[in-house]
Structure 1
Amino acid sequence: MPEAGPTAVLPGRPLTVGELLDSAVLLLRGQVAALLPLAAALALGEQLLLLPLRTAAGVDPPLWWISGFNDFAPFWFLLGVGAATEAMIIMLLGNPATRAAAGALLGHRATTRRLLRPTGARWGATALLCPLVGAAMLLASLLGPAWFVGFALLGAVTPALVLDRVGPLRALARSATLALRVDGRAAALRVLGYLVWWIIRVGLGWGLFTGLSTLGLVASGWAVTVATLAWAAVNAVAYAVLACLDAVLHLETRIRTEGLDIHLSRAPAGMPPAALLAVRR
């Protein structure tokens, strides 16, 4: 087991809310070479996908907000699509993030090559469930407050696939089950983490664009391009942190409710990590 000091990503015990948020950042910091480039590529792809929808909705950079509510329907659909793409990106990033968190819990740091290697990583199952999770979040977002429920319950889908080694359908049920344990603690913390980073994203995205504009660095006709790149950069960091939060929250919930720490302490020496962390079928 790794050292339980203040710099440990996962010290192998139940954590406070602040420790969980810190653990997610520490995990990203330790695996930035693997997670951030992938997050940047996905975030940029998301911005390019949303660009024609933003044009149709009549929104302008940097906040991509509407000036009036006469054409609210296209804007509402834009928000729904954005929520779906966010969920899918976080889920995809959760694959290497989860394996990195497992390594941190077991006391070793996975290399970038190992995290991105497809062998044994269950990328196929992750990609299979990704559109389903995206569709669920799109529908939930179009229903308004249902977004909170969908986002809260689907955070552990990738960790359940990658670490618990359950099937795709069972991963959806296990994610919801873990989220609702201890009076919905994991569900509430996932939403809290999203809201914290949403505030940071808005502040950084708007501030970066405004700062560049104030300095006269945004030429005429380049506002959309600059805003797109700014939001892609900010979102890349946020999505990577949220994927790390899902990973550490999943393992912490298993420690808190399933005695994972006790199981690891009693496991025979030399047992493969996959077998150590898999749930009983």
Structure 2
Amino acid sequence: MNDTPGWASPGSSPSDGRDSGTPGPADAPDASSKWSKEQPPAGRWAPPTAQGGGPVPPAGGPGWGSGPQRGGWGQPPAAKPGVIPLRPLGVGEILDGAVSTLRAHWRTVLGITITVSVITQICDILIQRYLLPQPPATNPDASPEEALRQAMDQLNATVIGLAPVTAITLIATLFTTALLTVVISRSVLGRPVTLSEAWREARPRLLQLLGLTLLLPLIAAVVMTVGMLPGLLLGSGGGVALAVLGGFAGAVVTLWLMVQFALASPALMLERQGVIQSMRRSAKLVRGAWWRTFGILTLTLLLTFLVSMIIAIPFSLIAYAVDGDGISGLFSGSVPEFGWPFLIITGIGAVIASSITYPISAGVTVLLYVDQRIRREALDLELARAAGVPGYGSTSAGDDTSRS
């Protein structure tokens, strides 16, 4: 395994070629039944070092850690050098690990998310203020033909308005995913990381991550187009029904594919894989656990949405009160014209919400990836060695040389 901090090669669990003193699959009966058939050669994950050059001592004494035992009765509790115990994780432990990462590395995490969120919101405000066209006027007394034309004009205006916002969001997601993945991978080992270190490790992978970030929405758009195109070409009432049915089928396929590829970004960042290889890697890890992955991601999406709403609603009410006709304007039925105060106040709320929800979403994705590798490849053994936990062997170059 490459000794770059926070990195793990695919199939890095040491299933082959170890000496008798190194724990192996037999020490982890809950993962051996799902052991991956194709395992690359075992590599090295260098343990963290202290300032004096020696291994970092574990975070607790004998018996430290929490949760179910990895090896069953008679085995010590799972080691916990970082934010998660090194064993298969429950849903609550994945969410708690994401929040614990935010607490443990709050300077680095907030430095990343606040910087990206502020830049994103500034660009968004400028685009809304200067680049987006005014929404087309509607006539409530229009004929059916005119109403259809007005609806199409509104749809075009919405698409035009969403395009730059979507592009900014993709770029923001790119940087936050890259940097936070490095931070979270370090936090699993209980290792500190600065913003400059995270940037130095993530920067070589940004181009590949950009390709992945653009490819996944493209795949979704192609699937939806293929599903709806026959009905749109057919036209008439039957064509509309066929387009709706095809759109529903396309949405189902898109959802299945997006869950299959949900772990591609951590695989790309932490295993130094290419775009297509990371997608295949994600599909392999999700195989047999699609519903569990879907459930955890959906729960995370719901929680982050609720947090965003809890933060955004007060700022929106304040913005309505400061700008325009006040809160009473919400119930007037007219579309208010918002100025700089409204955009700035709501932008502040969006920055605060993003600074909290970005780390949670990224943390859940990375920890779900780690959990699947623990379950399928006994990655916990390799992580324990990398963290310098006693009883898991050594990953130093000298030991590897002496064994050979």
Q: TM-score when scaled to structure 2?
A: 0.54
Residues 80 and 138 in structure 1, CA contact (< 8 A), matched pair in contact too: no
Cα drift, residue 196 of structure 1? 1.6
Matched, 1:103 2:228: no
The aligned counterpart of 1:155 is 262
CA offsets 1:166-186 (integer angstroms, 9 cap, x no match)? 222201222233234324322
Greater CA deviation, 3-12 or 100-109? 3-12
Counterpart mapping for 1:71-150 below 5 A: 71-75=154-158, 86=169, 89-118=172-201, 122-136=205-219, 145=251, 148-149=255-256
Q: TM-score when scaled to structure 1?
A: 0.73
Q: Partners in 2 of 1:236 and 1:140 — Cα distance?
A: 32
RMSD of aligned residue pairs (Cα, Å):
3.8
Residues 160 and 166 in structure 1, CA contact (< 8 A), matched pair in contact too: yes
Matched, 1:192 2:299: yes
Cα drift, residue 84 of structure 1? 6.5
Does the C-alpha gap of structure 1 residues 196 and 140 become closer, same or farther in structure 2, counting only changes over 3 Å? farther
Greater CA deviation, 199-208 or 87-96? 87-96
Cα drift, residue 189 of structure 1? 1.3
Q: Which has the larger Rg?
A: 2
CA offsets 1:208-229 (integer angstroms, 9 cap, x no match)? 2214554x48997331232233
Q: Which of 375, 395, 404 lines up with 1:270 in the alignment?
A: 395
Q: Partners in 1 of 2:396 and 2:267 — Cα distance?
A: 20
Tell me, which stretches of 5 or more residues in structure 1 are unaligned? 60-68, 273-281
The aligned counterpart of 1:259 is 378
Cα drift, residue 27 of structure 1? 0.9
Q: Partners in 2 of 1:175 and 1:217 — Cα distance?
A: 47
Q: Which of 309, 312, 318 lines up with 1:202 in the alignment?
A: 309
Q: Partners in 1 of 2:301 and 2:176 — Cα distance?
A: 15
Q: Secondary structure at the match of 1:163?
A: helix
Greater fraction of residues in helix: 1
Residues 83 and 97 in structure 2, CA contact (< 8 A), matched pair in contact too: yes
Q: Secondary structure at the match of 2:191?
A: coil
The aligned counterpart of 1:231 is 350
The aligned counterpart of 1:37 is 111
Does the C-alpha gap of structure 1 residues 163 and 78 become closer, same or farther in structure 2, counting only changes over 3 Å? same
Q: Partners in 2 of 1:210 and 1:112 — Cα distance?
A: 35
| Identity in percent | 20
Q: Partners in 2 of 1:88 and 1:110 — Cα distance?
A: 23
Q: Partners in 1 of 2:168 and 2:286 — Cα distance?
A: 21
Cα drift, residue 150 of structure 1? 5.4
Q: Partners in 2 of 1:41 and 1:258 — Cα distance?
A: 36
Residues 101 and 247 in structure 1, CA contact (< 8 A), matched pair in contact too: yes
Count, aligned residues: 262
Q: Secondary structure at the match of 2:86?
A: coil
Q: Partners in 2 of 1:264 and 1:160 — Cα distance?
A: 16
Counterpart mapping for 1:163-202 below 5 A: 163-202=270-309
Q: Partners in 1 of 2:224 and 2:174 — Cα distance?
A: 17
Counterpart residue type for residue 221 of structure 1: G
Counterpart residue type for residue 87 of structure 2: R
Matched, 1:4 2:65: yes
CA offsets 1:80-118 (integer angstroms, 9 cap, x no match)? 775665455334322232222222323323333322224
Counterpart residue type for residue 192 of structure 2: R
Counterpart residue type for residue 161 of structure 1: L
Tell me, which stretches of 5 or more residues in structure 2 are unaligned? 1-57, 68-79, 137-149, 226-246, 327-337, 386-391, 398-404
Matched, 1:240 2:359: yes
Q: Partners in 2 of 1:155 and 1:123 — Cα distance?
A: 17
Cα drift, residue 12 of structure 1? 0.8
Q: Partners in 2 of 1:212 and 1:35 — Cα distance?
A: 28
Q: Partners in 1 of 2:199 and 2:134 — Cα distance?
A: 37
Greater CA deviation, 24-33 or 221-230? 221-230
